[in-house]
Structure 1
Amino acid sequence: MGERIDFSKLNNTRFVESDQGNISFDAIIFIKSLVDDRICWENDAVIYIGDSLTNNGYEFDLNDLLKIIPFIVTEIPQHHYLLFKDLKKIILISFENVMEFGTIK
């Protein structure tokens, strides 16, 4: 698998651990909590990048990503990186069912 980002060096970090059976539901709740707390917005542009099985990056509005994230995290066994287009926020959903969020000053 690819090298993980050291989220301890980022600001405003959040960490959630999920079990395999709930990862798609937990990913939605995790991302929605960032919107509810006004850390992210539904219309934020995010770039999806995987670390090994996907060869391309894909751009989505965060709200649209919520509709397909269950498929992505359950059907593609890799780390999933959601880089916000402003390059100041990132979400990691790991292959080990850990979700992390951080911002860069």
Structure 2
Amino acid sequence: MSLSNHVPSWIPAWQGAEQIAQDLDAEALRTAARKLVDLVLTDDTIVLDSLPEAVESNLVTPLTILVSVLDKPSSTLELVVAARLVRQSALLSLCPPELGVLIRQLPD
């Protein structure tokens, strides 16, 4: 397990992340993650404000961590862990379809 400046070392999303990082297209993951962040965490907050409260509260912190990984120098492993944290935190059954599609593109 690697230490990270972006992702807390105690979260379960680190488990198995090294194998996932080796087996995926990091650029495709980075693109999917960026689309998700750009949809939800925009300046106008329309999408964020329209989410059910439970979805919003579950996603804000993980998405903030994902933004940190995307915007600062980070490893593919950190990207995988941050993306998994978002996916594991999402209440997919309550997400709007467009948001659900983007979240499902993240590794499990």
Tell whether the structures are fold-level matches, with TM greater than 0.5.
no
Structure with bigger helix share is 2
- With the length of structure 2 as denominator, give the TM-score of the two structures: 0.33
More strand by share: 1
